[in-house]
Amino acid sequence: MPTPIVTSLADVAPRYRALFCDLWGCVHDGYRPFPEAVAALEAFRRDGGFVMLLTNSPRPKPNVIRQLDKIGVPRAAYDDVTSSGDAAQAALAAGVVGRRVFHLGPPVDLGFFRDMADDIEGADTIELVPLEEAEGIVCTGLFDDEHETPEDYRAMLLYAKT
């Protein structure tokens, strides 16, 4: 039996009650939403489907939703959002990397440490400290991803390893 080619969500939507959809490259390009994708998600929801947007962004759900609002993805296109930032926050609050942590990443990602969900126990015990005092490192990206590469961090990470 040949593999069917699906050309649009509408072709298969009636068979499903829920849709898990990646954000970057599927719903938006980082600057603006893809109109056809938004229309498909809205139609799926109008027909009773549940849309969960997924992202590997280090930012927690509230920050992702603010970004979606800013670039014009209508809330009518989805029911909820989950990010790798949400999972990482839960691990951080559980003490997986210690309580005193060094943040390796741009200032825009500091919300990762401030904007934790109310139901995450232990979030208030995390302290950002200089690398020399840290029990662990939380990396949300490069400090300056326009001018740096991971290689620029080799010495810092070798120091942290000791």
- Per-residue pLDDT for 115 more than 80? no
Task: Give dist(CA 101, CA 94) in Å, integer.
Answer: 13
47-62 in b/e burial notation, b at 16+ Cβ within 10 A? eebebebbbebbbbbb
Average pLDDT, the chain: 91
Can you give the pTM of this predicted structure?
0.73
Contacts of the segment 148-157: beta carbons below 8 A, 24+ positions apart: 153/104, 156/104, 156/131
Residue 71 CA from chain centroid, whole number: 16
CA distances from 73 to 88, 119, 125, 142 (A): 25, 27, 34, 27
User: Which CATH number does the domain 9-161 belong to among 3.40.720, 3.30.70, 3.30.110, 3.40.50?
Assistant: 3.40.50
Confidence (pLDDT) at 109: 84
How do residues 28-70 score in pLDDT, each as one tens digit?
A: 999 999 999 999 999 999 999 999 999 998 788 888 999 999 9
Q: Band of the pLDDT at 80, cuts 50, 70, 90?
A: very high
95: left (phi > 0), else alpha (psi -120 to 50), else beta?
left
What are the residue boundaries of the structural domains of the chain, listed by start? 9-161
CA–chain centroid gap for 22, Å, is 10
